[in-house]
Structure 1
Amino acid sequence: MTSPASPSESRALILERLVGDSGEAAQVIGVGRGMAERALPLLQKALAAELGAPVTVDLQVVEVGRVPEARSRAGDAFALTVVSSPTSADAMTLVMDAHAVAVMVSALFGGDPDQPVAPIERDLSQIEADVATTVFQEIATALNGSGKRSLDLRLPVPKAMSGNEARRRVLRDGAAVRIVYGLSTSSDSGTLTVMIPQRLLLSSRSGEAITGENGETTEFDWRARFSEEVMRSTVRLEATMPLARLTLGDLAAFEPGQVIELEENAQLNARLSARDKTLFVCEFGKLGQNYTVRISHPHDAGQDFIDGLMPG
């Protein structure tokens, strides 16, 4: 792996290794899911042509995680490869569990799709590793994309590792998106896990989450871009309860110590507001030693205006 070209890149690499270069989880998952779903029909078609047998591919999981977690759920026997790109030595990590390898080998060599495949409980053979490499190649090609959205992977993929080599392979820690595909026949199934570092995913694909079809930013796109930051901002909530309608003469006659009677339904018409904007109509109450308000329904400004026109 080459050294960063500048001190700023060196600092960025050190920070990424310490804490992981990550983005907002919702945005990362959204971009990852979009990429995974677009690749699904291409992958299904490519594997059908390669195997000549019916194998179903389905998208099971898209979530955030860490790169070393790629093999955490693969069991003792699995196939692994790491694909690089010009900007990253670990642009994509692919892991196929033993069940998926057995399904693909059975399909490739004409096994009966209605019969369960024999489980693999040992290190993979050379033929099994070659089959895994073929599947990894189709997966990487489908996810790589093209044009501005391309991950720019260096293909073909390296030969799949298995056994001690795969278990001892050091995977550089970092925040990633975890994509899990299911590979199945009518009688058996397995999983294939893809880990893509978030630093690479966000730099190559984040634009599709904030621009329209013609490259123009829309109102929805800006909302998606800033929503996470806005939702983390804090506001002060205030609950108020209506008293009574009085004349200015009655108000001027108030004296210290005077008790003001609440309206009959005042307790049921508390208003919850933030920054001088009424949000909800609430019911005032008490729970133990604490006073509470229970939300009844959202505030209807239009109805409130109409009610204000009615004589008191």
Structure 2
Amino acid sequence: VMDAPAIAVMVQALFGGDPDQPVAPIERDLSQIETDVATTVFQEVAMALNGSGRRSLELRQPVPRAMSGNEAKRRVLRDGAAVRIIYGISTPTDTGTVTVMIPQRILLATRGATADHGGDQTTEFDWRARFSEEVMRSAVRLEATMPLARLSLGDLAAFQPGQVIEFEEDAQLQAKLSARDNTLFVCEFGKLGQNYTVRIRHPHDGGQDFIDGLVPG
């Protein structure tokens, strides 16, 4: 579907209009030439979306001739799950849109679990690998903490401003590296030049950590 500003922009662009001059949206039924322009745009978008080979959407080519006015109003889009893709077409003064609606059934038939992969067993693996790659690029905040001491609630309640608390002997060797409240590694706290560091010792063992919490010392 092309909106009125998009059609006006494309007609101006194809017929040498001044890109710095505003154009009036075409709110009436399209003329013969304007219909040809809209059909050309639809054809180019369909070819770009369709793709080729086993990943093709298998769209019917060429696309049907564009329609407007009452004829277009009778073509009501079905109310169902679909993907909507909006493309912008613009000049320095005007902006229009071309909207593509892809029903869910089409996506499932060509991309989903019911798609016919033609005996190719690598498709699902390839998509999983690509998705995993995108996930691995996600930025997370790392936090390194060092255990202080085991104290009773009474000891904590007795703390006073200015009081000095000693670290346990092996606290420097038991730093925990975590992200999003999940402990990842047990590290060693240290210093390199002017910077404080943590050196990874081994992956965190949640089961062992639970047991150590049940049996003090």
Structure 1 residue ranges without an equivalent (≥5)? 1-94, 226-244, 246-261, 268-295
Higher helix share: 1
- Out of 137, 141, 154, the position equivalent to 2:47 is 141
Q: Is 1:263 matched with 2:152?
A: yes
Q: Which residues in structure 2 correspond to 1:1-312 (within 5 Å)?
A: 95-206=1-112, 215=122, 217-218=124-125, 221=128, 263-264=152-153, 297-299=181-183, 301=204, 305=209, 308=212, 312=217
Q: CA deviation at 1:308?
A: 4.2
Rounded Cα–Cα distance in structure 1 between residues aligned with 2:109 and 2:11: 36
Residue 96 of structure 1 aligns to a residue whose secondary structure is coil
Runs of 4+ in 1 over 6 A off after TM superposition: 222-225
Counterpart AA for 1:170:
V
Name the count of aligned residue pairs: 151
CA spacing shift, 1:175–1:187, aligned 2, 3 Å: same
Q: Deviations along 1:218-246, whole A, 9 cap, x unmatched?
A: 49828969xxxxxxxxxxxxxxxxxxx9x
Rounded Cα–Cα distance in structure 1 between residues aligned with 2:152 and 2:212: 16
The sequence identity of aligned pairs, in percent, is 64
Rounded Cα–Cα distance in structure 2 between residues aligned with 1:116 and 1:202: 42
Rounded Cα–Cα distance in structure 2 between residues aligned with 1:152 and 1:186: 36
CA spacing shift, 1:166–1:299, aligned 2, 3 Å: same
Rounded Cα–Cα distance in structure 2 between residues aligned with 1:156 and 1:266: 80
Q: CA deviation at 1:165?
A: 0.8
Residue 83 of structure 2 aligns to a residue whose secondary structure is strand
Larger Rg: 2
Residues 7 and 25 of structure 2 are in contact (CA less than 8 Å); yes or no, is this contact kept in structure 1?
A: no
Greater relative CO (CA pairs within 8 A, separation 6+): 1
CA spacing shift, 1:222–1:203, aligned 2, 3 Å: farther
Q: CA deviation at 1:99?
A: 0.4
Q: CA deviation at 1:302?
A: 5.6
Rounded Cα–Cα distance in structure 1 between residues aligned with 2:106 and 2:76: 19
Residue 89 of structure 2 aligns to a residue whose secondary structure is strand
Residue 190 of structure 1 aligns to a residue whose secondary structure is strand
Rounded Cα–Cα distance in structure 1 between residues aligned with 2:93 and 2:100: 24
Residue 191 of structure 1 aligns to a residue whose secondary structure is strand
Rounded Cα–Cα distance in structure 2 between residues aligned with 1:206 and 1:102: 38
Q: CA deviation at 1:171?
A: 3.1
CA spacing shift, 1:156–1:297, aligned 2, 3 Å: closer
Q: CA deviation at 1:124?
A: 2.1
Rounded Cα–Cα distance in structure 1 between residues aligned with 2:126 and 2:34: 50
Q: CA deviation at 1:121?
A: 2.8
1:73 aligns with none
Counterpart AA for 2:108:
L
Counterpart AA for 1:264:
L
Rounded Cα–Cα distance in structure 2 between residues aligned with 1:216 and 1:152: 18
| RMSD value, Cα | 4.0
Rounded Cα–Cα distance in structure 2 between residues aligned with 1:216 and 1:133: 34
Structure 2 residue ranges without an equivalent (≥5)? 133-149, 157-179, 185-203
Counterpart AA for 2:152:
E
Q: Deviations along 1:114-169, whole A, 9 cap, x unmatched?
A: 22112223222222111100100101111111111112111111111101111122
